[in-house]
């Protein structure tokens, strides 16, 4: 099974990008689904279900979704296996951005809004730095100069990552992103999956003291 973890702030367009990505996967003959982790049980997974894709929502409640993702990956994997999915997309909407919700072996995608402050890439460094692919959204609403500066800042933080400009409304630009996802390797979760980045030593009020690593 291919596993993709998609992270980013609230309202940056993760769901819109994922919908277009799932359509590309479907055209390629893959059975895909989304395990969506959010701060509240808002029923956002219905967007995917109404579009014809398998989806399951999971509430992080009083824990930061990025931290909850680290301890819920086994649940997401079991759900995907029960449905015999070829592609499992895990969407997590972080709050504090002080840690990265990425595993070493799963494809990591960071989504950033072009409408955000130009200092946002630096404030999201743990996520941007650990990602394989970076998606910049809502760039039709900013000038080419602003887009160039934003892209340069993202590449400065993660020079090894690929930066994609994607329009969440039209899907323009998602084709190249989808090709990278479809070309990613299949994996099978181990009993313990190592994280890409060690959790911070200090915890904010969202973190609730969850330990590092993922255990099924």
87-93 and 2-8 beta bridge pairing: parallel
How far is 124 from 16, CA to CA, in rounded Å? Answer: 20
Provide the β-strand partners of residue 214: 193
Q: If you compute the radius of gyration of the chain from its CA atoms, what whole number of angstroms results? A: 16
0.85 exceeded by pTM: yes
pLDDT of 212 higher than 50: no
The CATH superfamily assigned to 2-198 is: P-loop containing nucleotide triphosphate hydrolases (3.40.50.300)
Tokens 């946002």 locate to: 120
Q: Which of 59-63, 76-80, 141-145, 211-215 has the lowest mean pLDDT?
A: 211-215
Place of tokens 């313990």: 192
Give tens-digit pLDDT for 53-109. 999 998 887 777 877 787 788 899 999 999 999 999 999 887 767 778 899 999 999
**If we measure between CA atoms, which residue out of 126, 108, 131 comes closest to residue 184?**
108
131: tokens are 């990602």
Total count of residues recorded for the chain: 216
Give kind and range of the element (H or E) at residue 132: none
Residue 16 token pair:
């819109």
């Amino acid at each position: 099974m291919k596993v993709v973890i998609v992270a980013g702030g609230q309202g940056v367009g993760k769901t819109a990008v994922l919908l277009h990505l799932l359509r590309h996967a479907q055209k390629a003959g893959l059975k895909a689904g989304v395990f969506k982790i959010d701060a509240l049980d808002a029923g956002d997974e219905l967007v995917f279900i109404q579009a014809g894709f398998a989806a399951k929502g999971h509430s992080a409640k009083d824990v930061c979704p990025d931290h909850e993702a680290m301890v819920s990956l086994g649940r997401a994997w079991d759900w995907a296996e029960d449905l015999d999915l070829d592609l499992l997309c895990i969407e997590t909407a972080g709050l504090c951005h002080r840690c990265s919700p990425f595993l070493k072996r799963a494809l990591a995608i960071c989504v950033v809004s072009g409408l955000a402050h130009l200092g946002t890439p630096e404030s999201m460094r743990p996520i941007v730095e650990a990602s394989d692919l970076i998606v910049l959204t809502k760039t039709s609403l900013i000038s080419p100069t602003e887009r160039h500066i934003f892209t340069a800042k993202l590449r400065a933080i993660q020079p090894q990552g690929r930066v994609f400009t994607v329009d969440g409304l039209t899907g323009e630009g998602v084709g190249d992103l989808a090709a990278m996802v479809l070309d990613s390797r299949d994996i099978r979760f181990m009993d313990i999956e190592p994280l890409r980045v060690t959790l911070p030593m200090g915890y904010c009020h969202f973190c609730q003291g969850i330990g590092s690593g993922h255990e099924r």
